[in-house]
Structure 1
Amino acid sequence: MKFTKQILGAATALMLAGVSAQAQTYTMTMGHVLSDQSPYQVTLNEFKRLIEERSNGDVAVEVQCCAQAGNETRAIQSMRTGILTGGFVGGSTLETVVPAYRVLSLPYLFDDKEQAYEILQGDMGRELLDLLDDYGMYGLGFGSIYERSVASKAPARVASVEDMQGLKIRVLPTPGFVEAYNALGTQPTPMAYGELFMAIQNNVVDAIEISPDALVADRFHEVVSSYTMTKAHQSTTILVVSKAWWDGVPADVQEMIQTAATDAIAVGIAAHDELAAEGLETAAAAGVEIIEPDLGPIMEKAKESWNVILTDQPEARTYLERFQAAIGN
């Protein structure tokens, strides 16, 4: 009888262990710095819906918007240490961690965002994502491409390279943006995004470089008078998770997460394209002049910054050569 009880007890323990393993859940906290109306939020909301549905609730996702996890630099550090599961970050921010990513901040690297999507959603994009492994992160995919152009406040108005001379413009605080606008003859002024609205409103800067959806989402169209479609940077975004967290998840769950991320990114890109088009329409309706300049001279001047941006960056230069070969330039 005692032996039988021991067998039954062991069997019950094994059964309970199996139930416990099957019921194991994984919680993901995914953050970003944009608003709760942004394409980032659309993508992560869709990711949350898909993965929670497909995993039958075994993977739960909390989405944090509006820099709740800090700015992108802080968020990246939190991902690398495993404090934050993951989220969306800009390629321009990641270039301070991953040297090869400097190539992504070159002005006019791609002819347009369609070309950027073709390259970054393909094998070379996956190769770039795999570089994150050495820096404590895993790349789930490249997200929306933000075509950044120049929004100016009167009397500043940009229709040519000549109009840009001496223009005080807020840029992202990375070499790719600073040097590009140096080459264009402006006074590039790196500044945190949270300080930007007051800066343009109070004439601290004459202009900002920004995508059309953000122009409207964050109400800059209320304080600028013109928007010049320079499209100097096809600014990349990347959905990233902590490598330490990722390595602790079983292979089948990893595959489920990756598939959900890829599907959600496609939804986010479509939403971003729609928001960008609507942004231009809304800005124009509000009285903002939409200017389409001759891009030839602007592009020529901006590309003079490439060698400066890639100084002492052999990995980034190698990727530039490969991008150009793929594009056919």
Structure 2
Amino acid sequence: MLKKIALLATALVALDATMAAAAPKVMKYTHYQPGREDQPKHAAALAFEKCVEGATSGSIDVQIFPAGQLGNATTALEGLRLGTVELAVVHDGGISSVYSPFDVFALPYIFPNHEVAYKVLDGDFGKEFADAMLKETSIRLLAYADNGIRHFTNSKHPIKTPDDLKGLKIRVQPAPVFISLVESLGASPSAIDWGELPAALAQGTVDGQENGVTNIMAASLYQSQKYATLDGHVYSLHAYLISDVFYQGLTDVEKKAVDTCVVEARDIHRNMTRATDLAAEKTLTDVGMEVYVPSADEIAAFRDLAQPVVRKHLEAAVGADWVEKLVKAVEAAGGSQ
């Protein structure tokens, strides 16, 4: 009888081991755009899910939670650090609350175009930056994607010069660097979380805001904003972030799948957002906004006011080293002021 019990116990242990080996590793993947395929973050997420699950023969189960279903950016980033959220695609302002050097990308008017930005982000600077973030936060930055080139909108009047911003209340991301940027141009900044922005604009809590066209369209901000100025003051980013606790628990095959598939997701995300950026004037005009496209000289007037102030802020907040490295990387990639 005892022998039978021992054999049964051995069999159950073996069965448990087999079941555990067969159970997929769940990857909770959250982002902050609507769960529609016309949204860059979600289209990229769906591609990533298909790619990873195929490449790992289902050993990773990717579960997508769009529209901030797992909480705001701060909650998601804390989850990444603890390993309770496996992957999140988070905007720059949110990331800087956990890793302040991310604010360096908000240096205004630093990237002249998409091509220069991609060279910098996908090159040595981007890798060095990601390695430093991993060391400090235990969050692994897998890829940089576009959050759209940021422009000013408002409900009061056209903005053609920095003087036109004076007296306006402008919503910014809850990040000091964006407060510094808006103040440098003479407007009054108000830090409001993304989820509360449409209501704040509709109720007149603020007069305007600054965002990429993708986000303006996704949240229908044009419904309460009459005027847009395509000044392109910040090349805003999303980052693909994975919990290093989770990543280190993957097999080599699974790690390779994640690393490969995130590039596919990144490129879908970038291409969709870039296309919207390049069509900004028509897109916003078609929904009833009055759009102003500043000349190079007019952009220079904004840059000459904003960049020195924000650079000084960044040098104090995140260190002159990161600022100088970014400026040099942009110059090496073919950008110039």
TM-score after normalising by structure 2: 0.87
* Corresponding position of 1:307: 312
Amino acid at match of 1:142: Y
* Corresponding position of 2:4: none
* Corresponding position of 2:122: 121
* Corresponding position of 1:69: 70
8 Å contact kept, 1:149–1:210 = yes
Q: Please say which of residues 312-321 and 83-92 is displaced more in the overlay.
A: 312-321
Measure the CA separation in 2 of the matches of 1:29 and 1:18: 24
1:217 paired to 2:238: no
1:206 paired to 2:207: yes
- Structure 2: segments with no counterpart, 5+ residues: 1-7
Q: Tell me, what secondary structure is at the counterpart of 1:56?
A: coil
Q: 1:233 to 1:261 in 2, by over 3 A?
A: same
* Corresponding position of 1:273: 274
Corresponding residue to 2:155 among 146, 153, 156: 153
* Corresponding position of 2:106: 105
8 Å contact kept, 1:78–1:84 = yes
Runs of 4+ in 1 over 4 A off after TM superposition: 12-22, 277-280
* Corresponding position of 1:53: 54
Q: Tell me, what secondary structure is at the counterpart of 1:236?
A: strand
Q: Deviation per CA, 1:4-63, whole angstroms, max 9, x where unpaired?
A: xxxxx9xx9999799668635211000012222321111111100111122221211011
Q: 1:60 to 1:158 in 2, by over 3 A?
A: same
Measure the CA separation in 2 of the matches of 1:227 and 1:77: 35
8 Å contact kept, 1:100–1:319 = no
1:320 paired to 2:326: yes
8 Å contact kept, 2:56–2:253 = no
Q: 1:21 to 1:122 in 2, by over 3 A?
A: farther
Amino acid at match of 2:140: Y
Quote the offset at 1:163 in angstroms: 0.6
* Corresponding position of 1:4: none
* Corresponding position of 2:28: 29
Measure the CA separation in 2 of the matches of 1:80 and 1:224: 37
Measure the CA separation in 2 of the matches of 1:41 and 1:59: 19
Q: Tell me, what secondary structure is at the counterpart of 1:254?
A: helix
Measure the CA separation in 2 of the matches of 1:217 and 1:65: 13
Measure the CA separation in 2 of the matches of 1:48 and 1:112: 30
Quote the offset at 1:129 in angstroms: 1.6
Measure the CA separation in 1 of the matches of 2:316 and 2:306: 16
* Corresponding position of 1:242: 243
Measure the CA separation in 2 of the matches of 1:72 and 1:166: 30
Measure the CA separation in 1 of the matches of 2:325 and 2:140: 20
Q: Deviation per CA, 1:74-117, whole angstroms, max 9, x where unpaired?
A: 11011101111111012332223224323112111212233212
Measure the CA separation in 2 of the matches of 1:13 and 1:70: 39
8 Å contact kept, 1:31–1:65 = yes
Q: 1:319 to 1:95 in 2, by over 3 A?
A: farther
Quote the offset at 1:277 in angstroms: 4.8
Identity of aligned residues (%): 22
Q: Please tell me the root mean square deviation across aligned C-alpha atoms, in Å.
A: 2.6
Q: Tell me, what secondary structure is at the counterpart of 1:216?
A: helix
* Corresponding position of 1:141: 143
Measure the CA separation in 2 of the matches of 1:85 and 1:97: 16
Quote the offset at 1:266 in angstroms: 0.9
1:44 paired to 2:45: yes
Q: How many residue pairs are counted as aligned between the two chains?
A: 321
Quote the offset at 1:228 in angstroms: 0.4
Q: Deviation per CA, 1:112-133, whole angstroms, max 9, x where unpaired?
A: 2332122102222122122232
8 Å contact kept, 2:125–2:326 = no
8 Å contact kept, 1:30–1:63 = yes
Amino acid at match of 1:172: Q
Measure the CA separation in 1 of the matches of 2:106 and 2:314: 8
